[in-house]
Amino acid sequence: MIAGPPTIVSHLVDTRSHDATGAPRSMGFFTDTSICIGCKACEVACKEWNHVPQDGLDWTGESYDNTGCIGANSWRHVAFIEQARPVRQDDGAHGDLRWLMASDVCKHCAKAGCLDVCPTGALMRTEFGTVVVQSDVCNGCGYCVSACPFGVIDRREEDGRVWKCTLCYDRLRGDMEPACAQACPTKSIQFGPVDELRRIADDRVRTLHRRGVSEARLYGADRDDGVGGFGAFFLLLDDPEVYGLPPTPVVPTRDLGRMWGAAAAAAVSMVAGVVVAALRSRA
């Protein structure tokens, strides 16, 4: 954990989801893992607000993480990574263990695979730019599960439908902060308009680099990446895969044109093959 000075708190954002005219804004999360303390208040607050069922009470033996991964019944997941390497703490003391803690969540991709492939229209883009499942429409086909490059959305066995983070759609409509962000005691989870969060994140990376934390990098803040940028992006202190995240995710539908092209070519070849085989064998 790299504690920051109080200056980060001065970056408080206007968290209202509507602008002065009442129009909705594109809202998201900036999860700054460098100040996460692994308290899991986000996991608890999410469950409480969204009535997410319990996800098993198991000891995994994987550091302090007994949640394991994001799933239908865990919409926030705090990862704990213990790395044996020399570290210098802010008070000048030296240690030999680096703790990484990071609260993962649905990325609310600008180009969302789950949304693209959903055959019923149950998955939709909200007025806040977030991606939400309409549980009264979802018929549990499970296509979105395989189309998500992050392994976020999943089917809940008890009711057959898919579930994931809604970025607290109900709270946003009432100009309230999502439950996880409000509960976060260190502002590791910051909620606000995505554009503003990107500016804050850039500042934060510069600050950390100046302090010698050269491994600080943003994950998902680039609009030109394979999913068009995340609505919920991160500041990480190691490679994404160390946190269980894909290094360069791409929305599967990017190649959809090519796929249909190949399918059309195959379909035509098939008809030609059948006709030729049938004609030649008549004689």
Partner 1 sequence: MSREMSMVPAAKPRTYYGHPVLKPPVWSPEVGVYLFTGGLAGGSAVLAATARAQGNDVLARRALGTALAGVAMSPALLIKDLGVPRRFHHMLRVVKVTSPMNLGTWILSGVGAALGIAAACDVLGIMPRVRRVAETGAAVLGPVLSTYTAVLLSDTAVPAWHGAQLELPFVFAASSAATAGAAATILTPQSHARPACAVALGGVVAEIAAAEAMKRRLGDAGDPYHGGESGRFGRVATALGALGAGALVLGRRRRPLAVAGAAAVLAASFCERWSIFRAGTASASDPRYTVDLQRGRLTA
Window 75-94: residues binding partner 1 (CB under 8 A):
79, 81
Q: What tokens appear for 185 in the block?
A: 């005691």
For 54-193, strand residue ranges (E) read 76-88, 94-105, 123-125, 131-133, 154-155, 162-163, 189-193
- Do residues 162 and 144 touch, judged by C-beta distance below 8 A? yes
Of 19-27, 143-151, 185-193, 205-213: span binding partner 1 (CB under 8 A): 143-151
Reported as type and span, the H/E element at residue 32 is: strand 27-32
Enumerate residues 47-76 that contact partner 1 by CB under 8 A: 60, 62, 65, 68-69, 71
Site map (CB under 8 A) of partner 1, residues 216-255, x = contact: -----------------------x-xxxxxxxxx--xx-x
Among 133, 147, 179, 236, binds partner 1 (CB under 8 A): 147
CB 142, min distance to partner 1, A: 4
Q: Is 179 in the site for partner 1 (CB under 8 A)?
A: no
Q: Is 132 in the site for partner 1 (CB under 8 A)?
A: no
Q: Which is nearer to partner 1, 160 or 185 (CB)?
A: 160
SS3 97: strand
CB 199, min distance to partner 1, A: 28
Q: Which is nearer to partner 1, 16 or 254 (CB)?
A: 254
Nearest to 1 by CA among 52, 42, 36, 26: 36
- Do residues 140 and 161 touch, judged by C-beta distance below 8 A? yes
DSSP label of 253: G
Q: Is 110 in the site for partner 1 (CB under 8 A)?
A: no
Enumerate residues 248-267 that contact partner 1 by CB under 8 A: 248-249, 252-253, 255-256, 258-260, 262-267
Q: Is 164 in the site for partner 1 (CB under 8 A)?
A: no
Among 27, 78, 153, 205, binds partner 1 (CB under 8 A): 153
Q: Is 150 in the site for partner 1 (CB under 8 A)?
A: yes
Of 35-43, 110-118, 170-178, 210-218: span binding partner 1 (CB under 8 A): 110-118
CA distance 150 to 114: 10
Q: Is 97 in the site for partner 1 (CB under 8 A)?
A: no
In this structure, the strands spanning 27-32 and 189-193 are antiparallel
Interface with partner 1 (CB under 8 A), residue total 74
CA distance 173 to 251: 28
Among 1, 8, 78, 122, binds partner 1 (CB under 8 A): 122
Among 90, 146, 170, 211, binds partner 1 (CB under 8 A): 146
CA distance 169 to 166: 5
In this structure, the strands spanning 131-133 and 154-155 are unpaired
In this structure, the strands spanning 27-32 and 162-163 are unpaired
Residue 178 phi/psi, 5-degree rounding, is -55, 150
Sign, CA dihedral 237-242-248-249, equals: negative
Among 19, 137, 203, 211, binds partner 1 (CB under 8 A): 137
